[in-house]
Structure 1
Amino acid sequence: MPTAIAVTGPDLVLPSPDRHTPSAAVLQSAVQSPRTYSLDQALTEMHTLIEHHGYVIALCPSSAPASVARRLHAVRSVLESDRIAIVRSDLPPLGLAVLALQLRQLSVCDFSPGVLASAARLLSHYIHAGALLGSVARLDRGRIDVSLESHAKSWLPGSQFAALAAPQPELVKLTGGDEVDLPGPGFATTLLYAPGRLAPDWVTGTLAPAWKSQEVTEVQLPAESERWWATAKLVEFAAAIPDISVLYQLVSSVRRDDCHWCGLELIGDRCAFCAAPLPPPGERPAQPTRTLVPASHRLRPAAGPAPAPGTSALPRGAT
């Protein structure tokens, strides 16, 4: 069985694009109140996932209530298991659902659990997640900087804003023209959008062509989106790489190391399972030569963003 990808809500599970992509496990311990879903039930739920899949990667949004994160860490602590990775993400709800889908796609490949869990942070930098907003008056400035001018204009009837939360926060006021000032992806993507109480015309008719999206698909708006964006007048969207062969090469091209604490493979600078940081370059053991992409998987995408083998795939300035 592939490594289990677990999420904290059913609306973070997008439909599988093919019959090979498994669904995600919805953690009832995160959905239900501790009053109605006991710790014993939460332990049984997680233990069952481990028994069936070997390892569990639990995606938890940074915006989730503190009680959700505490319950996940409590379950991991009581089980004394090093097979549970709790991955926190700053992505907005639809962007997080897309990340979960990409990890689900990659879970059927030959990546080890440590590499797959570490890939969550890498893949997040290639998801362009944002929203069309009818108001930014209550938008959390810790997520996207809202100027006083934008704050004042948001009270005007009919005002609309285009906001980008990832990979870099951006906010622009729409003027009614066809211009798109939001920086888009420089590689082939599919655009998913989820309408709230705004018409999606700007997203489908202006943003999608400007970003050269290969496909535009409507999905259900996650329940958390209105709280995350602080308004019901929105259309959330996320542009991401849909091709599993490109995702595979993107992850495969990054140097792998072994965690000095738990021994799992990882990419990046920290193990997603035990949170141990990677030692400085001078203290790392020499890596054996390995074939990162098996011959059966050597696909050459036309416009993939994969870096050269042995280099870091994180964008410059990313942490």
Structure 2
Amino acid sequence: MPTAIAVTSADLVLPPTDPQTPTAAVLQAPGTQSLDEALASMNTLLERHGHVVALYPASIPAAHERRMHAVRSVMETDRIALLKIDLPPLGIAVLARQLRQLSVCDFSAGVVASAARLLSHYVYAGALLSSVAKLDRIPVSLKSHAKSWMPGSQFAVLANPRPQLVKLGGEDTLAGPEFATQLAFARGQHASDWVSETLAPGWQVQRAQEVDLPAASPAWWGTTKLVEFAAFLPEISVLYQLVSSVRREQCHWCGIQLIGDRCGFCSAPVAPSENHPHAAGVLHRGSP
């Protein structure tokens, strides 16, 4: 059975890319599930899949994060990876779906878990906002704060991989990916078609798909008047090639296989001299 991928809310489970892409489990918040129920659910996942890789937002309520760590501690298992991801909600949903795709490949659970850090660098996550007055996730200049109070102002914001903020109508544009992507976007209380009609063609995305807005997105972006978006690598062949291009190591602490500079299950770092980055030239504009 493939490694189980888990998230912390049902709205982070995007539709599968193909019939082979499995769904994700949802690790419920303490207010909706008792500890005993959480333990039973996790035990079922481990029995069915062997390992669980759980992604959760860095902005998640502290009680929910404590619950997940409590479950892993009580079960005294090293087969649960808890990955705190500092991406906007839609970016996390996209990343979780990529791990779901990889989970059915011939990668070990440790490689799937540590692939999250690698793949997050290739997710271009941002939003179209009507105001940045309450945006505190990325740097916002005083000038931009002042402009956000002007009627009709709109801002294009990129949170990952490099923060950027531009006011629509000016000469600046958001720096997009230099490789082939698809785009997922989700509307809040904003009627603009800028993301699908201007950003997507400008970034030369292969396909733009509208999805439901995650419930945590308005709080993350500081406004309900938004259109969130995330450009991502859609093809399993490209994801497989990217992950395969990184040298695999054995974690010196827990012994599981990994890629990159840190174990996804125990968080132990790999010595810098042992770490090998992905091969150059794996991605380029026009990749399948």
What's the TM-score bracket when you normalise by the shorter of the two chains? Answer: over 0.9
Deviation at 1:219, TM superposition (A): 0.5
Task: Find the aligned partners of 2:158 and 2:178 in 1 and give their Cα distance.
Answer: 15
CA contact (8 A) 1:9 1:27 kept: yes
Question: What's the CA shift for 1:45?
Answer: 1.1
CA distance in 2, matches of 1:222, 1:135: 19
- Return the offset for 1:280: 4.6
Deviations 1:259-316 (A, max 9, x none): 11111110111111011111352xx69x9xxxx9xxxxxx9987449xxxxxxxxxxx
**1:124 lines up with 2:120 in the alignment:** yes
Match for 2:153 among 155, 159, 164? 159
Aligned to 1:311: none
Structure 2 gap segments, 5+ residues each: none
CA RMSD of aligned residues (A): 2.1
Report deviation, 1:66. 1.0
Match of 1:6 in 2: 6
**Counterpart residue number, 1:25:** 25
Counterparts of 1:66-77 in structure 2 under 5 Å? 66-77=62-73
Distance 1:135 1:22 in 2: 37
**Paired residue type of 1:118:** S
* Aligned counterparts of 1:241 and 1:163: Cα–Cα separation in 2: 20
Q: CA deviation at 1:38?
A: 1.6
Compute the displacement of 1:200 (Å).
Answer: 3.5
Report the counterpart of residue 176 of structure 2 in structure 1: 184
* Paired position in structure 1 for 2:247: 255
Distance 1:300 1:183 in 2: 17
User: What is the alpha-carbon distance in structure 2 between the residues aligned to residue 66 and residue 197 of structure 1?
Assistant: 28
Residue type at the aligned position of 1:26: V
Partner of residue 47, structure 1: 43
**Which of these residues, 97, 100, 106, is aligned with residue 104 of structure 1?**
100
Shift of 1:198: 1.1
The separation in 1 between residues aligned to 2:285 and 2:155, in whole angstroms, is 33
Of residues 60, 67, 79, the one that matches 1:83 is 79
Question: Which residue is 2:228 aligned to?
Answer: 236
Q: Equivalent residue for 1:295?
A: none
1:187-217 alpha-carbon deviations (Å, 9 max, x no partner): 0000111011112411111101110011011
1:71-109 CA-to-partner distances (Å, cap 9, x unmatched) read 111110110000000001011000000000000001000
Task: Output one character per residue of 1:41-66: Cα deviation in whole Å (capped at 9) or x when no partner.
Answer: 11111111101100000101001011
Q: 1:316 matched to which residue of 2?
A: none
**Normalised TM-score (structure 1):** 0.85
| Alpha-carbon distance in 1 for matches of 2:252, 2:226 | 45
* Overall identity of the aligned pairs, in %: 67
1:277 aligned onto 2:269: yes
Contact 1:180 1:210 in 2 (8 A): no
How high is the TM-score relative to the length of structure 2?
A: 0.94
Segments of 5+ residues of structure 1 without an aligned counterpart are 293-298, 306-319
Q: Counterpart of 1:122 in 2: which secondary structure?
A: helix
Q: Which of the numbers 213, 216, 220 marks the counterpart of 1:221?
A: 213
Residues 301 and 108 of structure 1: is their aligned pair in 2 closer, same or farther, counting only changes over 3 Å?
A: farther
The structural deviation recorded for 1:253 is: 0.2
CA distance in structure 2 between the aligned counterparts of 1:200 and 1:251, rounded to whole angstroms: 36
SS of 2:190 mapped into structure 1:
coil
Deviation at 1:115, TM superposition (A): 0.4
1:205 and 1:167 map into 2 onto residues whose CA distance is 22
